[in-house]
Structure 1
Amino acid sequence: MAKNEEEVKNTPFGFGTSNDAYAKYFTGKSYLNPLATKANCNIANVNFEPGCINKWHEHTVPQILVCVAGEGWVQEEGKPAHKMTPGDVYVVSPNTRHWHGAAKDSWFSHLSIMADTDKAKTTWYEDVDPEYYNNLK
């Protein structure tokens, strides 16, 4: 097993199923387990295989990321990448370009929390520079 695979696959929030609907926005395989999609709020457990990250993107509403298991990264445009480990919480402000996903050698699981989903729109951009990502430590 790869680093943190067992922890990610056995979180209390469930592993979910292949995130095929959004696969074109990820560099590798991710899995999605929706937890709450009503009351104008979306909470999902998103799981990433090692090396899987999403493209640069932004949302029109805030996004809260809570690391559940494994090791990953989040980065806002113009800021250094921030390593996430279990218990870390990162808030991305609305209309802020960012990306997030697994460390290259570890599985990663985070809760994604977004309110005001009736107003939420996501705009997807380019891939993260692979050389930059591969040099993160």
Structure 2
Amino acid sequence: MKIIACGSVPTIIAPEAYFTGRVLQTPIIEKEAPARLRATLVSFEPGARTYWHTHPLGQTLYVTAGAGLAQTWGEPIQTIRAGDVISFAPGEKHWHGAGWKTAMTHIAMQEALDGVHADWLEQVSDEQYGG
């Protein structure tokens, strides 16, 4: 058994290369090979969101607080709220984040394929975001 004490893992500001707006990330777990799981608590301030991206083995989000938005390429934007579980298939191009006026926090869970958890693409424009 391994216990990771609350407060022992620092929260970081998410990199501007993959996110628009202020986003905080607190790692939950990153398993060593042969396991592949990574889980992170991600908090988006109003207006903040990811860039378009994919995951080689898919991604699951569990919204823990607030309300936000998520979209798969070519499909309408969906509202997501606390308690919702969102599942993206492997290779599915998507983004997710807060609403324009609402913060949102989720747990992001994904597995790595050959050490890669995500493939980051272009920024989600304000027009795409609905601004």
Count of aligned residue pairs for this structure pair: 121
Are residues 1:104 and 2:97 paired? no
Q: What SS does the aligned partner of 1:131 have?
A: helix
* Residue among 37, 42, 57 paired with 2:30: 37
* Residue among 11, 14, 20 paired with 1:17: 11
Q: Distance in 1 between matches of 2:47 and 2:91?
A: 25
Q: What SS does the aligned partner of 2:49 have?
A: coil
TM-score (norm 1): 0.79
Q: Following TM superposition, by how much is the alpha carbon of 1:27 offset from its aligned partner in structure 2, in angstroms?
A: 1.0
- Contact conserved, 1:60 with 1:119, CA < 8 A, in 2? no
Alpha-carbon distance change, 132 to 115 in structure 1, aligned in 2, over 3 angstroms: closer
Q: Distance in 1 between matches of 2:18 and 2:24?
A: 13
Q: Following TM superposition, by how much is the alpha carbon of 1:59 offset from its aligned partner in structure 2, in angstroms?
A: 1.3
- Which amino acid is the alignment partner of residue 58 of structure 1? T
Name the counterpart of 1:7: none
TM-score (norm 2): 0.82
The answer for unaligned runs of 5 or more in structure 2 is 1-5
Q: Following TM superposition, by how much is the alpha carbon of 1:60 offset from its aligned partner in structure 2, in angstroms?
A: 0.7
How large is the RMSD of aligned CA atoms in angstroms? 2.0
| Structure 1 residues 114-129: aligned runs within 5 Å | 114-116=110-112, 118-129=114-125
Q: Following TM superposition, by how much is the alpha carbon of 1:96 offset from its aligned partner in structure 2, in angstroms?
A: 1.0
- Which amino acid is the alignment partner of residue 82 of structure 1? Q
Q: Distance in 2 between matches of 1:108 and 1:60?
A: 25
Are residues 1:133 and 2:129 paired? yes
Query: Higher strand fraction: Structure 1 or Structure 2?
Result: 2
Q: Following TM superposition, by how much is the alpha carbon of 1:43 offset from its aligned partner in structure 2, in angstroms?
A: 1.0
Query: Higher helix fraction: Structure 1 or Structure 2?
Result: 1
Q: Following TM superposition, by how much is the alpha carbon of 1:117 offset from its aligned partner in structure 2, in angstroms?
A: 5.4
